[in-house]
Amino acid sequence: MLKTLIKITGQSFISPLYHTVSDDTPAHIKHLFKVRSIKQFEDDLDFLLKNYKPVSIYETYDHINKYGNPPNNSFMLTFDDGLREFKDFAFPIIKRKGIPVSIFINPSFVDNKQLFFRFKASILTEKLITNKRNFKCLDDFIINKKTTPERFLKSVTYKNKSVLDNIAKCIGIDFDEYLTKNRPYLTLNELSELKNNEVYIGAHSIDHPLFNMLNNEEQTFQLKQSVDFVKQKFNSRIKGFSFPFTDYGLNKDFFNKIFNEEMVDITFGTAGIKKEQFKYHLQRIPVENYNKGIKQILIHQYLYYILKIPFFKNTVKR
């Protein structure tokens, strides 16, 4: 069925997106998305290898340069956020199977200097669920009394992320201690070691904001500064950038600017299987959004693509 769907859609290039792989989901991720187990991840890769050819970001970029589109019948494996489990659990499997892989990082989080605000929300949620205490001080932060503390934490955005630090003090969480003890992120030395093992290192913004909530100047700053950091530290031949959360809401003027001014060479979104207006901007499939095997995820993606064809919604509008 999959081969038939690929033939119907003409979309034979895919880019699966992961964040982490583990049999024991850490607290900073537990309340955000479903983590792939080591076996699930290996099963995903085995299925992908049976149906697509693995390609690197370099092969993808060079093919677009030459032919105007990514390589046919291929998949480009990617990971976002630069998490420790990538090195501990995912990469040994990837290396053993000979699959090229790209990992996109945030400079503020490298070496465990800071913690992503959504990770903070997950840690706080875990504390509330497991502690069972009624923290009265939370009333000072939750304006809508009809919502639960867990829902409130999930609603916190990049713009008001400081409230998470205040809540942490209220309920006795020390994020610096958590960073020291759990080391969620890879260090610069570990990333350099991975690069020496042919892992591509790309940029993922400075500290993971939702881009459509930033003004034009902030968007450009986040992209350029993170890309420049990665270029300085790892000096890869091409400058790659994956948008944190989503690229939804970013207009064509922004993409024209970043490509025309050569801030970046190739970029990635998270909209699944879709056509794009910009040949150097590719969409990826967020595997962790689905509690299914990779075969079922891909069939769902292709069927959804076909359903949108009559409504002209299988191309991202900018």
CA distance 120 to 179: 11
User: Is residue 65 assigned to a domain?
Assistant: yes
Same domain, 87 and 170: no
Same domain, 265 and 126: no
Q: pLDDT at position 218, please?
A: 98
Same domain, 147 and 219: no
User: Is residue 256 assigned to a domain?
Assistant: yes
In 3-state terms, what secondary structure has residue 103? strand
Q: pLDDT at position 82, please?
A: 98
On the question of pLDDT at 135 being above 90, the answer is no
Nearest Cα to Cα of residue 216 among 244, 172, 254: 254
User: Is residue 318 assigned to a domain?
Assistant: no
Rounded mean pLDDT of 233-255?
Answer: 97
User: Is residue 158 assigned to a domain?
Assistant: yes
Question: How many independent structural domains does the chain possess?
Answer: 2
Amino acid in the structure at residue 119: F
pLDDT band (50, 70, 90) for residue 141: confident
Q: pLDDT at position 309, please?
A: 86
User: Is residue 103 assigned to a domain?
Assistant: yes
Same domain, 207 and 302: yes
**Of 165, 180, 195, the domain-final residue:** 180
Q: pLDDT at position 81, please?
A: 98
Mean pLDDT in the chain? Answer: 95
Exposure b/e, 217-254, CB count within 10 A at least 16 = b: eebbebbbebbebbbebbebebbbbbbbbebeebeeeb
Domain that holds residue 161: 117-180
CA distance 120 to 27: 9
In 3-state terms, what secondary structure has residue 134? coil
Nearest Cα to Cα of residue 185 among 92, 251, 88, 254: 88
Same domain, 75 and 159: no
pLDDT band (50, 70, 90) for residue 310: confident
User: Is residue 316 assigned to a domain?
Assistant: no
Same domain, 199 and 300: yes
Q: Please state, as a whole number, how many other Cβ atoms lie within 10 Å of the Cβ of residue 10.
A: 10
On the question of pLDDT at 133 being above 80, the answer is no
Q: pLDDT at position 42, please?
A: 98
Same domain, 247 and 190: yes
Q: pLDDT at position 48, please?
A: 98
Same domain, 154 and 237: no
Cβ(275)–Cβ(315) below 8 Å: yes
Q: What digits encode the pLDDT tens for the residues 189-228?
A: 999 999 999 999 999 999 999 999 999 999 999 999 999 9
**Of 180, 209, 224, the domain-final residue:** 180
- In degrees rounded to 5, what are phi and psi of residue 293? -70, 160
Same domain, 166 and 304: no
Burial of 114 (0-12, 13-18, 19+ CB in 10 A): buried
Same domain, 34 and 97: yes
Q: What crossing angle do the helices spanning 294-308 and 2-9 adopt, rounded to 10°?
A: 30
Burial of 17 (0-12, 13-18, 19+ CB in 10 A): buried
**CATH at residue 74:** 3.20.20.370
Amino acid in the structure at residue 190: E
Nearest Cα to Cα of residue 125 among 31, 29, 34: 31
In 3-state terms, what secondary structure has residue 169? helix
User: Is residue 303 assigned to a domain?
Assistant: yes
Rounded mean pLDDT of 297-308?
Answer: 95
Rounded mean pLDDT of 38-60?
Answer: 98
Same domain, 100 and 221: yes
Same domain, 307 and 221: yes
On the question of pLDDT at 144 being above 80, the answer is no
Q: pLDDT at position 103, please?
A: 98
Looking at the chain, the whole-number percentage of residues with pLDDT higher than 90 is 88
- In degrees rounded to 5, what are phi and psi of residue 77? -85, 130
